[in-house]
Structure 1
Amino acid sequence: MSSYNFYTYILTNKSKRVLYTGITNNLERRLYEHYTGADQPNSFTHKYQCYYLIWFERYQHVQQAIDREKEIKGWLRKKKVGLIGETNPDWRFLNEDIVEWPPSK
């Protein structure tokens, strides 16, 4: 089985009230797609302006990322908040660590 980079990630909006969990093989591209609405103009992330990366994990195999995404999506918000707090207790937006932010639309 080949190894690649896959990511499970959590986004939030400016007020940090909404959480979105997803997976991708290119975190930089995916952040841009969420921000510009290039993925789908009527998507959940675009509707709730979930553009801010607050947590992610890298995996070598896509199935690992998919399994983790499903696990996290099944959690209550409180448990997701705890996961984010383990590595990002201040809920700092991590976008600028990944890509120039904000990208031009």
Structure 2
Amino acid sequence: MPVSIKANRDGFRRCGIAHSDQWVEHPDGRFTSEEIEILSADTMLQVKITKKPAAPATPPSPGPQGDAGPGDQPPSPGPQGDAGSGDQPPSPDKGKTSKKGGK
């Protein structure tokens, strides 16, 4: 479990760490259970043991459109047609001709 520690005096050392006078959260596994007992018993330190949030008892509810199964997928767009079909604006070089051959 993560442990948050705040020292009454900045730089106070215990269990191999100089503790801050601001709350610092240490990750799960940073201290052994014996070290947590030592830290908690020290009057120069304030120690909070943070419990991990419990997993939800029920699965999360589907989004506003519901749970889409394989047959519920919207149809995929067909092959792209001519740029003039209104689907997409024409590309800037569409319709321009190159002047090759000297004419």
Q: Which has the larger radius of gyration?
A: 2
**What's the TM-score, normalizing by structure 1?**
0.23
Name the structure with the higher helix share.
Answer: 1
**What's the TM-score, normalizing by structure 2?**
0.24
Task: Between the two structures, name the one with larger relative contact order (CA 8 Å, sep ≥ 6).
Answer: 1
